[in-house]
Amino acid sequence: MIHPTAVVEEGCEIGEGSRIWHFSHLMTGSRIGRECHIGQNVFIASGVVVGNRVKIQNNVSLYTGVIIEDEVFLGPSCVFTNVRNPRSAINRKHQYQATLVKQGATIGANATIICGNEIGVYAFIGAGAVVTHRVPDYALMVGCPARQIGWVSAFGHRLQFDGQGQAICPESGERYRLINGKVEKIS
């Protein structure tokens, strides 16, 4: 489904079951996976890759160099940069830096992701946070600049680790372990 007010340039790939809403603009060379939801007034530049089952809320801009893996949630008006020191009078297109948002991560409303960083699997970036460095898998990040205040499960619940470094998600019952500053799901 593509809303009549959306601009989808020729050469843009859109997977089956994806929905593109009012006033969005997808440029030639962008790739959108299956079953994605792209909200109102979203801009997706050439070269951007969006995985499957991604939800992009209203007013999000994804610039060249951004890669979004499967099942990521991008909250309203979150921002991605692609140059660290932009200037109007200086062309820095050759200096774009890649940003990777890994599977299942959440970027909260009005958060800013500075280019050249990786957001880990199922990481949770709080609303309004400004990410200036790599974010570990399952990390809970808040503030400006963003700092880690804990860990979350794949279901987005804060994890409480016991003395043996183990935690259980209260919704899914999945078990996690914390070892040497890294969280992993126990299969």
- Which of 82-86, 100-104, 156-160, 161-165 comes out lowest in average pLDDT? 82-86
pLDDT at 94 over 90: no
Measured CA to CA, the distance from residue 1 to residue 69 in angstroms comes to 21
Using one digit for the tens of pLDDT, what is the confidence trace for 139-162?
999 999 999 999 999 999 999 999
The pLDDT, as a whole number, for residue 170 is 96
| 146, HSE (Cβ side, Cα atoms, 13 Å) | 29
pLDDT band at 64 (very low <50, low <70, confident <90, very high): very high
7-152 placed in CATH 2.160.10.10: yes
Q: pLDDT at residue 169 above 90? A: yes
1-60 tens-digit pLDDT: 899 999 999 999 999 999 999 999 999 999 999 999 999 999 999 999 999 999 999 999
**187: pLDDT strictly greater than 80:** no
Domain segments of the chain as ranges: 7-152, 156-187
User: Looking at residues 63-68, what average pLDDT do you find?
Assistant: 96
CATH number for the domain whose boundaries are 156-187: 2.20.70
Return the pLDDT at 177.
97
